[in-house]
Each structure stands twice: as structure tokens, then as C-alpha cells.
Structure 1
């Protein structure tokens, strides 16, 4: 299991990006969370199988139709045993 923190920049707020990310994470059976940041980025914490997460990242880059991803910053994290589901944080 690996865990990543991802900062996504572009047109990612107000376009359904968090809901898209949650649905995608559920389809891959990943755990973690997604939230908007005050600076216009979206932050994602995700954990699960390495190969599955790489596929998840490719889909995050595509994003929802109304959005546009310009940049993704990916940081390795320590897996959290507290995360059992994938949620939207506010």
C-alpha cells in the first residue's frame, strides 16, 4: 500500500472536480479524501495499491469535462489507518 498527497492546479474548483475525484476513488476502491484549497487548488490524499493509484492519477489528470488540469504536484505520504473510505472534506 502507498499513500500520496496531490495538489492539483488549473480550473479545478466549481466544475465538479471533488465529486469526480470521489466517484473515481470509489471505482478504484481507494481510501482518502479531497478538498478545495483557498488558493484555487484541489488537495487529494489517497492510499491503496500502487498500480491502482497510478491509474487513478492518470484519470485525475483528465478530470471532469468542465475542468482543466494544468499541474499536479505529487508527494509521498505515510499510509493512514484512519482512512477507510474516500470522502469530500469541507
Structure 2
């Protein structure tokens, strides 16, 4: 089960102006094999897009749900899709 996938997650809570995107990028790089980005949205959520092996994306999603993240995560909504490519590493946007 090493298929490559695209995970898009929207993280709700106190997740802006607390270093959340930076820590998300650091976690993605620590997991390895992931490309994508973390982006602050106008409504206060952070959007996380990660492409790579399903197990690595799941590990990042688990961290978003239950990890030692900065701020306070109140909920995560995610969708899974086929990868689109075009990302160089994992960026903060």
C-alpha cells in the first residue's frame, strides 16, 4: 500500500499566528517523501496539501489531528485524491 496520493486537509482552531504552518512543514520534512504546502486561509483555518506515499500522508494527518501542534486544533476535515504534482518540496504559503 505504497501508492502515491494527495491529501488536502483544512485545520480549524487557533492555528494562525502561532507557528502552525512552520511546524507543519517541519513535520512533513521529518516524515519524508512529501511535497505540498501549508497556507493560511482568510477564515482562520490552515489548508494543508500533501502529496506522496499514502502512509506518509496518513502520518501527517494523524499529527494534524492528535500531534503536539502549536496553537489549538479544534477539528480537521480532509479529502483524498490522486496526486497532481508540480510541487518542489514542502512550502509555507
- Which of 25, 28, 31 aligns to 1:25? It is 28
Matches within 5 A, 1:26-45: 26-29=29-32, 30-45=34-49
Scaled by the length of structure 2, the TM-score of the pair is: 0.87
Q: Unaligned regions of 5+ residues in structure 1, if any?
A: none
Deviations 1:15-36 (A, max 9, x none): 1100000001111121000100
Which runs of 4 or more aligned residues in structure 1 lie more than 3 Å from their structure 2 counterparts after TM superposition? none
Partner of 1:81: 85
SS of equivalent to 1:2? strand
Question: Does residue 2 of structure 1 match 2:15?
Answer: no
Q: Deviations over 1:38-80 (max 9, x none)?
A: 0000001101111121111111222424x11111010123312
Q: How many residues are matched?
A: 88
Q: CA RMSD in A?
A: 1.2
With normalisation by structure 1, the TM-score equals 0.89
